[in-house]
Amino acid sequence: MREMFVGTREEQGEDGSTVQCDYYVLIDQMEVGGSFACESYGVGIAIPGGERTDLPNITTSAARIDELMELLTRNAVTPASLRDVVEDWL
């Protein structure tokens, strides 16, 4: 699996501290039908020096993963809430 760094967001936490999240697109191969493989995309969010959540193989569409990544970065989604946000998006 490869990962492509997309960007960083810094937001104020509820306690007033700054939270930084790094966003990644995950790129992998997914087998389809045994003899055929296609590129699949997922997302990852990491807090440097702390929590990280990866969700691989969300879609095979580059346009859809770009749309999802825009949603995640615009809303400063954290690793803790990533799974819920992606499930709602699907």
Q: Render pLDDT for 59-79 as a digit per residue (tens, 0 to 9).
A: 999 999 999 999 999 999 999
Task: Say how many domains are in the chain.
Answer: 1
Residue 22 pairs with which residues in a beta bridge? 8, 46
The answer for residues whose C-beta is within 8 angstroms of residue 22's C-beta and 6 or more apart is: 5, 7, 8, 45, 46, 47, 48
Range of 40's domain? 2-89
CA 73 vs CA 6, 17, 21, 38: distances in Å = 9, 19, 9, 26
pLDDT-derived band at 2, boundaries 50, 70, 90:
very high
Mean pLDDT to the nearest integer, 76-89? 95
Residue 32 predicted with pLDDT over 80: no
